[in-house]
Amino acid sequence: MPERILTQDPEKALAGPKPRYEYIRQEIPADLTFKPDTINPVHNRFIVSTLVMAFISMALFFLPMFNGLLAGTFGGFHARRMPRALGAAALSAVAVPTALAFFLFIGSATQGHIFYGLGFWGYTALYVIGIFIGAVTGAISHPFWTSYKIGEPAPVSAPRTRVPDAAPPSRPTT
């Protein structure tokens, strides 16, 4: 006699019986560690320092040299290392003037007066000079303002503990 299908969902009906799992109790090795179930957001320092430079520059676009100096200093400080800071400054030196040119292009022709005396290329030159000077300043000043040193472990507040000499290698089974 054929089985009666008690569900309306054909996928559940065709899935068949659920598999059974057998569990074996074993001791966990002492050197085995588990990853937490939480998500730890890890950001790329280069991308974040580039975004810091770009956002500060765009927010202060009306101050031609100062926006580059300030954005480069904050971005270079966040980058922590000179090559990373200079790379972020180079990317920001291309992205911000390109974005400003795009915004001027989609705006009306009368909005170009924000660059009256300098012109767009003069503004771009001042911005590029300012962002590189700021990036170098921020990367150099990072070790002076923080206790972070490359290659040294971060301090931990918990004291180190000694393992007793007579400690068993693992927990005894009962």
Residue spans of the domains in the chain: they are 45-145
pLDDT, one tens digit per residue, over 53-92 is: 999 999 998 888 999 999 999 999 999 889 999 999 999 9
**pLDDT-based confidence at residue 145 (cuts at 50, 70, 90):** confident
Q: Helix, strand or coil for residue 94?
A: helix
User: Per-residue pLDDT for 127 more than 90?
Assistant: yes
Q: What is the mean pLDDT of residues 89-117?
A: 80
- Three-state secondary structure of 23-36: CCCCCCCCCCCCCC
Burial of 131 (0-12, 13-18, 19+ CB in 10 A): buried
Least reliable range by pLDDT among 24-38, 68-82, 141-155: 141-155
Give dist(CA 131, CA 144) in Å, integer: 20
Provide CB contacts within 8 A for 25, sequence distance 6+: none
Higher-confidence residue of 118 and 93: namely 93
